[in-house]
Structure 1
Amino acid sequence: MGAAIARNLVKAGHEVRAWNRSPVAPETVAGMTLIDHPAKGFDAEVVFTMLSDDAAIREVIVSPALLQRARAGLIHVVTSTISVAFAKELEKLHEAAGVGYVSAPVLGRPNVAAAGELHILVGGKPDAVTIIEPLLAVLSKKVWKLGEIPAQANAAKIAVNMMIAMAIEAMAEGVVLTEGVGLERTRFFELILGTLFSGRAYESYSAQIAEGSFEPGFKRGSA
């Protein structure tokens, strides 16, 4: 996901420096300058981070005090899905360090990111959001400005993930019930999609359930 975002920024003509916690293939960072330490990424106008969770951000950014070493005027865009409590903590840490902070978790799989069609949920101070908006436009189908409090974007992302999980669970339970009396799942999904449950989440995940394709779209890793 992070690599796809970075490549789109390169395509748009931006100078991009990239760092990853694990080794990456040269073609992954084509057109970018690969740096050997994340602190060098904070010597910039804007830094995007796509780390897997709260603990990863704490390990890579907070504990080494990268915010205190950041270039003056830098804006940090956190695209990770993180907890509301940690988002609130990050807001305070950035404010104390004098670093701009925007929460911008994304909706979409890596292939959607590669196409520049992510939905980006944004929370942050208007002046910081305005500065990074041209960058977000390169990456997204739509930018959803959800408020001046960064945690508002994180709460919305968690709620969306929760609702997707609920939809998957509901379809799985429905399949167990209907297949128990011999109704094929494809017929059941045709019914629900054609009546009460049309929508992208139901369409996408019902197709995967019907095909028995359970490869996750997101894997916790070392981005």
Structure 2
Amino acid sequence: MATIAVLGLGAMGSRMAANLIKAGHSITVWNRSPSAAQGLVEQGARPAETPKDAALGSDIVLAMVRDNGASRQVWLDPDTGALAGMHEGALAIESSTLTPDWVRELGSRLAQRSVAFLEAPVVGSTPQAEGGQLMYLVGGDPNSFTRAESVLKAMGSSISHVGPVGSGALAKLATNALLGIQLTALAELIGMLTHAGADVAHILEAVAKTPAWSPAAGRVTSLMLAGNVEPQFPIELIEKDFGYALGTAGPEAFAPTLAGARHVFRVAIERGLGKDNMTGVVKLFT
């Protein structure tokens, strides 16, 4: 069993850490708000005051934070960052949704200190994190992937090695963009059917039998029709991911569909819906 530090105990990171504890690993946890660690401490985790303190003596350090800026601070802050506490030969795993450019920079900085690196962003939200059913899109060298695979399997049901560092971020941004585009289109169609006076659920049940439908479409449509906006993947986070995808794609003229979907989420944020689950965008159209 490994000695693992988990940095970031939000909705996803806390559940990932809990599954590592259940798998028998020795876990140290850190979060910007220390109170978030209490439940995990009761399960056997050791709390740390800084990412650096959490990393001291850890064979593996795993981060799950909000964005590029948070990732940079958690890993590279000269006084409190995890890298300052990691020993030569340790393994860093970054599971946040980030840009390929930042992930490559982070990998380079870690390599300068002889620390191995994998990016391992996840597909799935809180139910999958809680059930150990996340899907991992891993970028990095094959040896590091082999080293981390058993640890990732404690948190996920599908572990895919997609290429060198940067490939995982690209795969995750592509996944989230495809999900978000489907969601905004379905929200508009629900609005169209509602304003036409149709039996929305009945018509979409028929559409779901056609080749145009996807498993994701079924899940998000059920939530939208039920009015369920309990946050699993909040609007403000998927909008952030669209921004990262567009920054990677280049000028908006090269990705007009991405830009259009992002605009829907930005309007939702402007209307005070940013904390709602992404399915809350249906409120813009019904």
- State the structure with bigger RCO (CA 8 A, min sep 6), 1 or 2: 1
Amino acid in structure 2 at the alignment position of 1:60:
V
- The answer for the alignment partner of 1:16 in structure 2 is 27
Shift of 1:60: 2.1
Match of 1:97 in 2: 113
CA RMSD after TM alignment: 1.7
Describe the superposition over 1:174-216 as per-residue Cα deviations: whole angstroms up to 9, x where unpaired: 1222222211221232122111333221011000111111233
Matched-pair contact (CA < 8 Å) for 1:73–1:99: yes
How do 1:29-108 residues align onto structure 2 when only pairs under 5 Å count?
A: 29=41, 30-43=43-56, 44-64=58-78, 66-108=82-124
Aligned to 2:185: 170
Worse-superposed segment, 153-162 or 20-29: 20-29
Structure 1 unmatched ranges of 5 or more: none
**CA-to-aligned-CA distance 1:106-141 (integer Å, 9 cap, x gap):** 011122111111101111111111111110111111
- Farther-moved stretch of structure 1 (204-213 vs 34-43): 34-43
Residue among 135, 143, 147 paired with 1:127: 143
Instruction: Give the superposition deviation at 1:68.
Output: 4.3
**1:25 offset after TM fit, Å?**
5.6
- Residue type matched to 1:116 in 2? G
Deviations 1:133-191 (Å, cap 9, x if unpaired)? 110111111101101x1210111101110011100111112122222221122123212
Question: TM-score with structure 2 length normalisation?
Answer: 0.73
Q: Which residue among 182, 196, 209 is the counterpart of 1:181?
A: 196
Displacement of 1:71 in angstroms is: 0.9
1:137 aligns with 2:149: no
Structure 2: 5+ residue stretches without partners: 1-11, 238-274, 276-286
Contact 1:19 1:41 in 2 (8 A): yes
